Amino acid sequence: MKKWTVAAALAASAWVGSLSAEPIVLSDMGSFHIGGEKFVISGEPVREVRFTPTGVPAKIDPNGTYVVGQMYVQYFIPENRKGAVPLLLWHGGGLTGVTYETTPDGRPGWLNDFLRRGWAVYNSDAVERGRSGWPATSKPAWPGEPVLVTAANAYERFRIGGAGSWSDDPAQRKLLPGNQFPADHIWEFARQFVPRWTTTDEPTLKAYLQLVDKVCPCVLLVHSQAGKFGFQAAQQRPDKIRAVVAVEPAEVGDMDKVAALKGVPSLMVYGDYIEQDSRWPTIRAKGAAFAEAVRKAGGSVDEVDLPKVGIKGNSHMVMMDKNNLEVSALINDWLAKRGLYRP
């Protein structure tokens, strides 16, 4: 396993404080939807609906053609571009692009940080999340039921407090020693949760690939569930992906296609408290096995366990932790060393 030294981590984070105060100057910004397919409803009764309590009823015919599987993308182009290619931010399960915007306690998120560094940034709400939308129709657009996470589940499963740490009484909640997540703002974080399906991987990857085809070559920065989509996208579009940065990937790419990543350098970043968690040792081992398979196929994968390089206390939500800018500095330094960023 390739190592990331403590000295490199310290050097990467040396200028974080001054950078976070720099203004953001844009040459352009905007948004678009991409992907999606037509979806037909038929045989449903026409209804009368009052859009306000005292409004005039309107006839609503639910039969017709809808669009499902689309994805919302917002982009920001800095005036002084230093990233060689755009940086695409892909979020994890049950979340949206808000993951990368502002932290639950109001500090700058990674979107702002990478913009200040000079990256053109494209931030997405994946299929069926946030502004991508989904049709709450009588005919399901995809199989299965949506899953919604509680604050208690996230607090424990995302390695903020760990198993059995939650209490409705804030004074009784436990926090993992030295944990960097802004735990006093857990309800701000919970406001970001959205329904997710476990059956939409295919349309999600399809939309991501269309985004890659539209704006890349690029660098993918992916988190948790999106680890799978990032590596699979790179395996299917190796000519368009210059690098993959996978932050705590909960899933990885296809093991039978690792040779496709031979020319796509990758960085895998993991936080703290993994060894004592019930699930993450297995997830981490799966990531290590995938990385080793890529290396054996001639590719390049660096694995960084943040505590081992002196960056401690990180939860699963690394980009929201109090030391989030130390980690983004490390990532930026890694990209610079691969010729993808000019300081």
Instruction: Report the pLDDT value the prediction gives residue 10, as an integer from 0 to 100.
Output: 53
How confident is the model over 91-96, as a mean pLDDT?
97
pLDDT in tens, 63-90: 999 999 999 999 999 999 999 999 999 9
What distance in Å separates the CA atoms of residue 294 and residue 292, rounded to the nearest whole number?
A: 5
pLDDT of residue 139: 78
Other CB atoms within 10 Å distance of the CB of residue 7:
10
Dist CA 61 CA 55 (whole Å):
18
**pTM given for the model:** 0.92
- Residue with token string 């539209």: 214
Distance of alpha carbon 16 from alpha carbon 22, whole angstroms: 10
| Per-residue model confidence (pLDDT) at position 32 | 98
- The model's pLDDT over 205-220, given as tens digits with 9 standing for 90+, comes to 999 999 999 999 999 9
Among 91, 60, 64, 87, smallest CA distance to 76 is for 87
User: Which residues contact residue 135 at a Cβ distance below 8 angstroms, ignoring those fewer than 6 apart?
Assistant: 39, 66, 68, 141
pLDDT digits (tens, 9 = 90+) for 43-66: 999 999 999 999 999 999 989 999
Q: Given this model, what pLDDT does residue 135 score?
A: 72
Instruction: Check residues 134 and 258 and name the one with the higher pLDDT.
Output: 258
Question: Locate tokens 């808000």: which residue?
Answer: 98
Chain segment 265-310, per-residue pLDDT in tens: 999 999 999 999 999 999 999 999 999 999 999 999 999 999 999 9
The C-alpha atoms of residue 18 and residue 20 are separated, in whole angstroms, by: 6
Mean pLDDT of the chain: 93
State the average pLDDT over residues 149-168: 97
Q: How confident is the model at residue 1 (pLDDT cuts 50, 70, 90)?
A: very low
Q: What is the mean pLDDT of residues 177-200?
A: 96
For the cut 80, the answer to whether the pLDDT of residue 15 exceeds it is: no
